[in-house]
Structure 1
Amino acid sequence: MIRPGGGEPEDEARLRRYLLALVQRRAAPVHVAVAFNAVYFGFDTQTAGYAGGPLDIGDFPSVALGDDMAALPVGAMINVRTGGDLLPAEIVYKEGAHEALGLEGDLPGWLSGAPAGAQGPDWVDGAKAVSLRERLVFDADAFGPGLAASDTRLQRLRRRGIIDAHGSLVVNSVYDRSGDGLPESDLDDTSYYLRYLMTRGRDQLDSSLAPMPLPLMLPPGATQQDKEAGLRNLVNVVRRALLSLPEIRLWGEYAFTRASMADLLDDGGPLGRDALETLARSVARGAAPTASRRTAVRRRPVYTALGPALCSMPGAAALMRGTVYPSVVLHANAVLMDYVQGEADEKTGLLPTGVRVALDDRWQGGGVWRAEHSGGDAASEVPRGLSEEPAGQGWAECRELRARAAAVVAPEPGAAYPVMLWSDEPDLGEPVQVDDAPDRREWQQPLRARQLEGGYLPMPPAVTTGQGSAGLEGRAPHGGSLLRPGPDVIFRLEHHGHPSSVQRVRMDEEGRLVGLRWPSTCFPGILLDLVWRRGSRTVEARTAALLPQRTVDGESIEHRYDQRVHTRDTAWRQPSDDTPGGRTRWLVMSAVRRFGLLDVIGRAMLARELLAPALPLVMPDAPESPTADRVGAAVVELLDIGALTRVHGSWGDGGRPCYPARLGEKVVELLCYTPRVVEGRPRGHGEAEDGTSPVRSKAVHHVPGFLRYIGHLGYEASPEQRRLFRQDFLKFGLVGSPELPLGYTYVRPHQRGS
């Protein structure tokens, strides 16, 4: 057993051998706190568990998904509440899981490096207790095979909502402020674990069943301060031993073997070297300047949280479960750091593209990386990005804005604002370069509704004129190699899951392929990967499967798509409720989706006071517009059923609202539409226990009547469905009200099967 103050060389060598075996044996990267647990409580590297050790699992705190609870550190022993027998586990990893994290890793800049209690770009809650949303990854195998949760059991817990889709616990952790007034949440994970052991975990630390309890290592009459110093010394001995092992690499306080990282990179699957390096390049490319026919070059920092970004990669979500999740996230951080350090200039910290990439926040979302284009003025900026220490630039920039906020004069209360509506974002639907080889162009663009209806597809200027557009920079070597207007253009479409098609179409003078017949399964927003070879009159297009599949606002989506285009271009679908109230609710929802400010995940936000001028634009040929009272009632109903929510932005330059709110600008209420996204197959297409698709039964089976929520679409049940519900309500002797609830329709009993 290690002792405060060090030990003999042979003892230190034995400790290093043990820690190496521990890191090799554990399923997840080993945090310094977890390594201390293993040494202190006697983790058996042969059986890979604490089975038979000095831990009373009945004393572990109980935790369940969604709990509001006192914060727990990495290294804490817990019982996962399953509704049945105890499921003891050890917390081996945790990260921030803020509600503002997007599904693809996008997040507002202020969140990166934000202090505890931050509620927005200029708002820190100074309350005594701070609540943070956190993801806790636990290892249930740490207590031996007799108590371990099998894969089948974990899948069952996931379906029952005991754990989330990634096999972890997302909870609201409450941190108190320490005696010196500093929030406990600002402590690093190891320091917080030490505090936990000296307070709530003291009985566990002082257990006489431990191989060498801390009290026995200290001289008689040792004070509380002596005990804290001894504990810290023990942990430091473990940390130094981990750092001394050449076979081990640390990311922050987490240790993993270099061999495990090599194995991951050599894997040809969705989380192998190619996928991680593609993600690394994507993070850097997000801040590169873009230009299109309608926009100028933009320079702004882009923040990416690796946890959600990894889960959004094709085929990755199904693998990012349990202890695999932290393994992939931590390895990906290391790969990205290696990429930056290998490609960036040592003096300026810039990649060859002029982009600077740096770790900005180690905790939120598994690690937030900041990418910013230098704008060609690298000499005036401080080099960053080559260090593994997070910079916290996202929140720091908010402080810089605060210093300039005093110079901003807010408009007079009640002042009129010009009506500025977004019928389209400047780059919505623009082609984005994927690859530019000497003899071909590859790009990606989403299908717009007008292109589906009109049977055409615009080609990027890089293909028709040789001029760059929206990331398709460059010039063709000579005019003859461009795609010119005229007939006999071959359009090949490989539509995933459907037969391929070849069409002979024409390119018009505007650079559009016209006369296209799109398959009925193509929808607004579906992403096309396109290829054109120089000198050829053939354009190849393909669609790709969306994995996992999604149900968006009740619609099953099986192909990769652009969330912003889907929000915009599916807003016109007519409502089933043709009553005055139903039409008004549909108009309000359509106005928000059609003219609101879009974000990357397809949310649309429209200023409340711009709703009235937007409504006539939804249906300009309507015989009459709804009254202000009817519009107000529709907004209230949509807010009540959750189809819309309220968020706060600010009035920016030119009278356009901005989100999130900017410092020094007048706050404005925004009506927000958020797509209702459900991951996985639509109803009736579940997975088998092993994660594979089950064989469908040919038998016909009875489906009882049920209510279906449609309020999020701005729809209401038709009078016929209301009548049928009242009829079946009386027929089957149901209990409650015979009237359908607001926002629901009724599906009658029917037979299903083939």
Structure 2
Amino acid sequence: MGGDPYVSAKGVGERERTRVPDPYGDQALLTSAMTGGYDAVPGQERSRLRSYLEAVVAARPAPVHTTVAFNAVYFGYELGGDGYGGSPLCLDDFPVITFGECAPVLPVGAMVCVATGSDPLYAEIVYREGAHPEVDALGDVPAWVSGAPAGAEGSGRPGTDAEPRRRELLVPDLHAFGPALSLSPAQLHRLRTRGRWINEDGHVVVDVCYPSLQAARRDDLTAYADHLLTTAREQLLSPFVPVSLASLVGGTQDGDLRAGLLGLLDTVRGVLNSSAMLRTWGHYALTRTSLADCWRDTGPLGGHDLRSLVAAVERAATPARRRHGLVAPVTVYTAVGPRLRGFPGAEERLREVGYAAAVCRANVALADVLQGDSDQGLFGNGSRVTLDDAFEGGGVWRSHHPGDAEAPGDPLVPAGRGWNSTLPAPPEPVDAPLADDDALGTGELLRSDAQEIVWRAPLRLAHLIGGWFPLHPFVAQDLCRPRGAHPTLRLELNHAGETLDEKEAVQYVAAELGDDSGRLAGIVWPGDFFPGLMLELRRLRGDTVIRLATTRLKERAQAGDRETGHCYDPRVLTREDVPGSSRHGDSAVGLGPRQLVMRTVRRCGLLTLDGHALMDRSVLPSAVYGRRPARSQAADLDSAVAELLAERLLEPALGSRDAWGQPHFPPRDGQRTILLIGYRPARPRVIRPWGGGEPGGEGLRGAQFVAGHLRRLRPGRLPSDVQRAAFREHCRRLGKADGWELPYGYTFVTEHTRGR
């Protein structure tokens, strides 16, 4: 690469003639905005990052996981062939791994030095899957294994070990650090033959020991964030990375680092998913070109074998024809990884990272057929095929006949039906009525005189679902006198600052009137109306027209997942704009653990005037399910709470409980202290330089903050003394001792702002 801040991607089709950004180039690829997640990133910054990551996916032989893509841009993967070996990273920062009876957790993306007893083996873990010993050589999986938690001991037996173990297959990229740091073919052959550190395929099969059940349930991105912030912390905070996470978030506090790191990972995931050149399977990205080449390939694991695999899974549960009698239901579970090994000639193609590529291509092929040739997994032969476990054996697919006897759902969302079928029927989430429903959104009368009546009230979820809105009692009484119980009124909507469809702007609705109350029925609410939106209504005395209007805020506001530019009631928004609730219905059924936690805390927690909700953490499981849930369900909720707290979507707090069992916040003297989890409507994070002004200060508006970062120099250039001193100060901010100097061939660009 030399000193050119841009390099040409090699072997990437059209990109051979284009220039691809370099992480060590003039402009850092990672920016402060990216710590807020994909949605917070300007389009131009997304585009530059996408250009680089597309080249990385095309250049690497294995599918690129989100964490591996993050590594590439954060640690400076060089596309010319040297990989990470072309960056100035300190290899001493890598954790040293010694495989024994039980190995530590190594998430995808972990960069490690494997102690082999002789030459160190540097590798990046690029793929990981379950390798349960009960899965046979042809990929047949016992039902209880599919979706089983780590530590499960058998059918319906989840295990009791507080530190569960699980056998896993890890695929290391032994050439990720370039030729200079890779072992020779002869050395690798000796290691494979000995089978102590890697097996004959170049893979690592180990029993992984998790520190807790909660750790075993973490998703890939959370697990990798934990790894970087603990085991690989020195590597994460190395001053030799292109731009340090600490610079991007403006400090080294653990909470800031974690939130920023998860935001960067979300940005990378979003960029990969948005690329027209790439396909993704879970967190793994492949080029569309490589998939097309595979389908055209007539050799082992090419198009013919993929078609055979798809057909075998589709027909796996189809019963043989019988002349008489009913056919009993049949369910078959097939693991993709072991099944691929059964194809003739596949052995060589499944060595090293080729295994990861083959498994991901096979899963994409199955997914494409399900989406194109079935109705939510239901095929014409009567079988239903769904993904049941995305981790075990490279992916376990469930084939069931007759498929039409089961409720349909997304066939690509792992349901774990195999394991769940061995357990007692777990309770379903409950939807208890809101305890404070009558006190929410009561509205207020703004004006009532001889001319008109004006009132204001928030839109409620029930109004959106049912297409109605309550009338103020004074209006209902006035309408009852001359027109009877069901007059027709003209409703004119004005959504401040927005353009409405003609059918929404003017509507003719029925006024359903009772003794002292009434409501407008048959309203078609605009698509961007939401629970909590404040509505102001006015009606002239004796008129048949009601005018309904929203009110603009001075600035757009973020509340939870909702961004709006209109006035709203924060209490209603917290209670009713929750996961599982929409204008089409309101139910907790089918939600995942994270969504269930957020829904329950927001619906059942102590509610403040500004929309905060606080809940006793110990009663959360019973609040979700209405009774004590199954152990696995409670563990899933605990894991979800931990993740949401780590991501600052929930906050910990202390409260108290009185003698009657009622919780209070803040805690009261003389009462038992309890742990609370709190929902706070999200506020945009403002990234600013270390020592900068307060968040939201006028000085940063209209300008983009550029964090301090390393830049590769052109040949023959040297950094100035000022830049050397700036780098030493940068190292001190990262907590490094004195003595750190710029690596040869690099300079340091100090933090600054530039106009947008």
TM-score by length of 1: 0.50
TM-score by length of 2: 0.50
Larger RCO (alpha carbons 8 Å, 6+ apart) = 2
